[in-house]
Amino acid sequence: MRFDILTIFPGMFDSYCNESMVKRARAKKIIDIHIHDIRKFSTERHGKVDAIPYGGGPGMVMTPQPLYDAIMHAKTLNKGPVIYLSPRGKLLTHKKAQKLAQSKKNSKQKPGLILVCGRYEGIDQRVIDLCVDEELSIGKYVLTGGELAALVVLDAVSRFVPDFIGKHESTVEESYSEALGGKKEYPHYTRPALFMNLEVPEVLQSGHHAKIKEWRKNKLT
């Protein structure tokens, strides 16, 4: 799967995209991440990308030209939908992440997503009207920009890309999955059996598979 991420802070993606599971998946070409600096597309002096809002009000708004050109460039590289991260968007869910992992226009293409990160008070509405397919929010709170939200989408979606997760872990039986009826998973325990006077539930130590299954089922919330 290919991700093209548009931002004015490309450095923010360096550490997350070069560690752990994401690093491994990139090395194995399971996912492909391309970060684009919106500022480089600005035709104004010093790469200006913002201006005061029409109608007045606090803060700045991202101007349409650099964003529009950056999105058009990304669209030549990635045939997936253009997603703008915004607190006004639809809330990201387990199901939505699963669906996005299959984003492609036809069966011959590999899945892809173009993630647009805004800053300041937001982006000019005309960019949304012209070239955004979907607005997505990661929660009912406001972040200082879309970068963290884009990383959350990248992570949540990548987990559903075939081979991203190892054989021993799985997205089949986890919190919010269909297999668990959309419920949250049971609690986990590991060694030692006694820690700070708290014991691992006896049934889990018993090795009785049917009873463990029943206990876990009862612990779903």
Whichever of 60 and 200 has its CB closer to ligand ADE, that residue is 60
Give yes or no for residue 7 binding ligand ADE (CB under 6 A).
Answer: no
Give yes or no for residue 100 binding ligand ADE (CB under 6 A).
Answer: no
Give the residue, chosen from 106, 141, 168, 197, that forms a contact with ligand ADE under the rule CB under 6 A.
141
Give the integer Cα–Cα distance in Å for 64 and 39: 12
What is the x/- site pattern for ligand ADE, positions 59-98, by CB under 6 A? --------------------------xxx-----------
Nearest-5° angle of CA 126, CA 35, CA 143?
60
Give yes or no for residue 146 binding ligand ADE (CB under 6 A).
Answer: yes
Q: How far is CA 121 from CA 22, 62, 139, 154, 160, in A?
A: 30, 8, 17, 23, 32
Residue (of 115, 150, 134) closest to 4 by Cα position: 115
Give the residue, chosen from 137, 151, 156, 160, that forms a contact with ligand ADE under the rule CB under 6 A.
137
Restricted to residues 149-178, the positions that interact with ligand ADE (CB under 6 A) are: 149
Residue (of 99, 202, 204, 201) closest to 156 by Cα position: 99
What is the x/- site pattern for ligand ADE, positions 18-57, by CB under 6 A? ----------------------------------------
Question: Any residues with CB less than 8 A from the CB of 38 and at least 6 apart, and which?
Answer: 6, 7, 8, 49, 62, 66, 67, 70
Interface size with ligand ADE, residues (CB under 6 A): 11
How does DSSP classify residue 138?
Answer: S
Give the residue, chosen from 71, 138, 156, 165, that forms a contact with ligand ADE under the rule CB under 6 A.
138
Give yes or no for residue 11 binding ligand ADE (CB under 6 A).
Answer: no
Closest CB 158 distance from ligand ADE, rounded Å: 17
Cα end-to-end distance, the chain, whole Å:
32
For ligand ADE, the binding residues (CB under 6 A) are: 85-87, 137-139, 141-143, 146, 149
